[in-house]
Amino acid sequence: MQLSNAYFNNRRLETLVENQTTYTLNNAAMHVFETHQQAEQIMLQFDQPVLASMLSGKKIMHLRDHESFNFLPGESLILPSKEIMCIDFPEAKASNPTRCLAMAISEDKIKQMLQVMNETMPKLDGKEWALMDYNFHFTNDIGLYQILQRLLFLFTENHPSKDLFVDNMLSELIVRILQSNERKIYTEKTLEINNSSRLGYIVSFIRENIYQPLSIETLSKKAHMSESHFYRVFKNELGISPVEFINNERIKLAVSLLQDPKRTIKEVFMECGFESRSYFNRVFKRKKNVSPGEYQANVVREKRY
């Protein structure tokens, strides 16, 4: 993500460690932190729930009840209000500063969006949408990336209607984060929830039968729903279509199988449930930015060294 020229033209660099530039609107405050020298055990805390997203450089995060982890560009972290962060900056320097966006969102705005989602996007299992798992660390998908880039521009723009613009973007941001969190729950905890959740059962069925043809018709029958209703509920809860979810799972399996240099590309795409090599190649390249053959060759080359 890129900071705007307006940000660099107007910000003041008053300290080399966690220099803070803040923009405050009705339902959110955007803080941009810059660190230009190595530092350790810097403490940070916010009074509202926060989406932190790395822009450049590297942090090591230490959170309550969590193992320490690297926080890198393209990743985000959801934090509750009053959460104390302890942060190290092992690589920060003047020529390569660490920059991080922290978006503090009002709890009233989050509650408002939860109410809208529960009224218009009811969950399959009848449970209500609720606050996401806090300390949820994830990689931004393209939708979140574009929203955050837009917010970086809007907060620094001198426009009389920017409060309205930002408020609309915050609504979409909250929905997408909750859907991302739901995907994480269903993909990481499927075995724990599939007995009590129809959608959990479907996710489990997909993963156990990934090598077979999987259609919306088949999955909707398994869920005892019409095709249109199943498609709508699945996408509302997980933020992606059933076909996108299936392809994501198949590509994860393909990445694992391609670690073996003895496997042919044909064996891999057939074991992953793709019907043709051309479709497999197209989906794989879209997800990984290289072809399956290039990916396998890179793996072999790395293992040699």
For residue 124, name the pLDDT band (cuts at 50, 70, 90).
confident
* 190 pLDDT above the threshold of 80: no
* Arch. (CATH architecture) of 189-305: Orthogonal Bundle (1.10)
- Between CA 137 and CA 188 the distance in angstroms is 13
For residue 304, the model assigns a pLDDT of 65
Q: What is the pLDDT of residue 66?
A: 75
| pLDDT mean across residues, the chain | 88
Higher pLDDT, 136 or 305: 136
Mean pLDDT of 164-172: 94
Residue 240, pLDDT score: 87
Tell me the C-alpha distance between 75 and 89, whole Å. 16
Summarised one tens digit per residue, pLDDT across range 72-121 is 998 999 988 888 999 999 999 999 999 999 999 999 999 999 999 999 98
Q: How confident is the model at residue 10 (pLDDT cuts 50, 70, 90)?
A: confident
Distance from the Cα of residue 223 to its chain's centroid? 27
Considering the entire predicted model, what is its pTM? 0.71
Q: pLDDT tens-digit profile of 12-59?
A: 989 999 999 999 999 999 999 999 999 999 999 999 889 999 999 999
The residue ranking higher by pLDDT, 171 or 261, is 171
Structural contact between residues 207 and 249, judged by C-beta atoms closer than 8 angstroms? yes
What pLDDT score does 25 carry?
93
Superfamily of domain 5-184: Regulatory protein AraC (2.60.120.280)
Instruction: Please write down the long-range contacts of 207-212, taking CB distance under 8 Å and 24 or more positions apart.
Output: 207/249, 210/246, 210/249, 210/250, 210/253, 210/272, 210/273, 211/270, 211/271, 211/272, 211/273, 212/273
pLDDT tens digits for range 192-237:
555 557 788 888 889 889 999 999 999 999 888 899 989 988 888 8
143 has a pLDDT exceeding 90: no
Cα(245)–Cα(237) distance, rounded to whole angstroms?
12
Domain spans in the chain, listed from the N-terminal domain onward: 5-184, 189-305
Percent above pLDDT 70 for the chain: 95
The whole-angstrom separation of Cα 242 and Cα 289 is: 22
One-letter-per-residue 3-state SS of 276-296? CHHHHHHHHHHHHCCCHHHHH
Check pLDDT > 90 for residue 161. Answer: yes
From 54-63, 128-137, 208-217, 241-250, the region with the lowest mean pLDDT: 128-137
pLDDT reported for residue 132 = 67
Nearest to 233 by CA among 191, 194, 202, 269: 202
